[in-house]
């Protein structure tokens, strides 16, 4: 009886691991570039993302780009569809209210759609610095 319980428990663990591997998307090598790297509030930045996941639920096939200033205030700059090659492009302005100093531009992509929560969960993310300078 003990051997049977151990075999059943082992089989359950193997099945759970296989289901996890099948359900999980392939790892993405998400990266972004931002041009320019610095400027005053209101500067137009060009954000290019590469290596984002494409084998995900279509509801999650978008990158949300945000900017966090030196005061910790985060502003969403935009949302872009991720192309078949895992890339996206966005042009948007750094907020006029951005605090001077070092900030961060971040692109985030949800990779699995949770029907219970009605949103994408599990994230790929890439960030680069952007310094807000005086005008």
Q: Which two tokens stand for residue 74?
A: 């985060």
Bridge-based pairing of strands 38-39 and 119-132 is parallel
CATH code, domain carrying 50:
2.60.40.1930
Within a domain: residue 69? Answer: yes
Reduce the secondary structure of the chain to three states and give it as a string. CHHHHHHHHHHHHHHHHHHHHHHCCCCCCCEEEEECCEECCCCEEEEEEECCCCCCCHHHCEEEEEEECCCCCEEEEEEEECCCCCCEEEEEECCCCCCCEEEEEEEEEEEEEECCCCEEEEEEEEEEEEEECCC
pTM above 0.85, yes or no: no
Within a domain: residue 17? Answer: no
How many domains are there within the chain? 1
Within a domain: residue 77? Answer: yes
What's the pLDDT at 111?
A: 87
The number of beta carbons lying within 10 Å of the beta carbon of residue 80 is 20
Within a domain: residue 2? Answer: no
Within a domain: residue 78? Answer: yes
Contact by Cβ (8 Å): 49, 30? yes
Domain that holds residue 88: 26-132
Instruction: Write down the mean pLDDT value for the chain.
Output: 85
Exposure string over 36-52, b if 16+ CB within 10 A, otherwise e? eeebebebebebebbeb
Within a domain: residue 13? Answer: no
What is the mean pLDDT of the segment spanning 103-122? 93
Within a domain: residue 66? Answer: yes
| 30-79 tens-digit pLDDT | 999 999 999 999 999 999 999 999 888 888 999 999 999 999 999 999 99
Residue 96, phi then psi, degrees to nearest 5: -65, -25
What's the pLDDT at 1?
A: 52
For residue 128, pLDDT beyond 80: yes
Within a domain: residue 35? Answer: yes
């Amino acid at each position: 009886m003990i051997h049977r319980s151990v075999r059943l428990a082992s089989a359950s663990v193997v099945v759970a691991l296989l289901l996890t591997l099948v359900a999980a998307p392939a790892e993405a090598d998400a990266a972004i570039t931002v041009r320019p790297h610095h400027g005053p509030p209101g500067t137009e930045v060009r954000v290019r993302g590469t290596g984002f996941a494409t084998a995900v639920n279509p509801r999650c096939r978008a990158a949300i780009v945000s900017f966090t200033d030196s005061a910790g205030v985060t502003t969403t700059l935009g949302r872009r569809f991720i192309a078949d090659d895992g890339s996206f492009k966005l042009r948007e302005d750094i907020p006029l209210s951005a605090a001077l100093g070092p900030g961060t531009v971040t692109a985030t992509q949800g990779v699995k759609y949770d029907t219970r929560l009605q949103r994408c969960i599990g994230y790929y993310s890439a960030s680069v610095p952007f310094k807000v300078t005086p005008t």
